Chains A and B, each alone.
Chain A
Amino acid sequence: MTTPVFDQIADIIAENSEVARDSITPGAHVINDLGIDSLDFLDIVFAIDKAFGIKVPVESWTQEVNAGTAPAEKYFVMGNLAQRIEELVAAKQAKA
């Protein structure tokens, strides 16, 4: 069972990389499993920023992972990534 946000993100990933749409599952790690490189990932983030009208805080996520204060799975496993995006969209709507 996937959410509409998950499906939209999966569509964006499939459109901006060579990853097959049906291999993008909630448990897939964006880099380790899907093999998305840094340039493709930036394209994907750009597309997500535009699609949802948000600014995905990739820099702070990466800093947290590198500092060991958050596991990479929190941000870079597809199901969790979709959840983070939903939170960002909700925070934006709450501000509006």
Chain B
Amino acid sequence: MRLEYFQMVDRVVTLDADRITVESRVPEASPVFEGHFPGYAIVPGVLLVETMAQTAGWLLLSIEKLQRMPFLLKVNGANFRGFVGPGAPLVVEATRTHDGSGYAVASARILSDGKRVADAELTFRIMDFPAEPLRQAMTETARRIGLPGYDGSGHG
């Protein structure tokens, strides 16, 4: 996890038809913590939302076979149930709850040490990649985080 680069997902753990689980570890140090907060570092809630959005995004990217890109459109009912500090291990789960025409809805939650620390419902617009370099970058990231089918294992 590199907060300042918006790299929120370290590794895909499981991927099923409508569900994904990923792991991430909050870094011990980050410029983000210099401001949030001085003397008491915690991951900003907006970055927890981003973490859930990226997790659900990888699920949708996999469903779309990396041919179309989900863009976050709406966040409903975001809850932050506990502080997430430096070094925290995170397990993030996302489930596609609705498959619409050109959009999708997912529910997501973050667990740390087995305790739920955040959850939200997320809506994405799904559209053609607006730029080829973006598609290439997403494909490279899919390989880095071990998205099945793109991790070199031959499993998809």
Contact = CB atoms under 8 A, between A and B. Distances in A.
Interface of A: 39, 42-43, 45-46, 49-50, 55-60, 62
Q: Is the interface of B mostly helix, strand, loop or mixed?
A: strand
B73 A58 contact: no
B103 A42 contact: yes
Contact of B98 (A50, A59, A60): A50
Nearest to A57: B101
B100 A55 contact: yes
A60 B103 CA distance: 13
Contact of A59 (B73, B102, B105): B102
Interface residues of B, number: 11
Given A55-B99, A55-B100, A46 B105 contact: yes
Contacts of B101: 45, 55-60
A39 B125 CA distance: 10
Which 4 residue pairs across A and B have the least CB separation, nearest first? A59-B102, A58-B101, A59-B101, A57-B101
Interface residues of A, dominant DSSP = helix
Contacts of A57: 101
B73 A39 contact: yes
A59 B126 CA distance: 10
B47 to A, nearest CB: 23
B98 A42 contact: no
Contacts of B102: 58-59, 62
Contacts of B125: 42
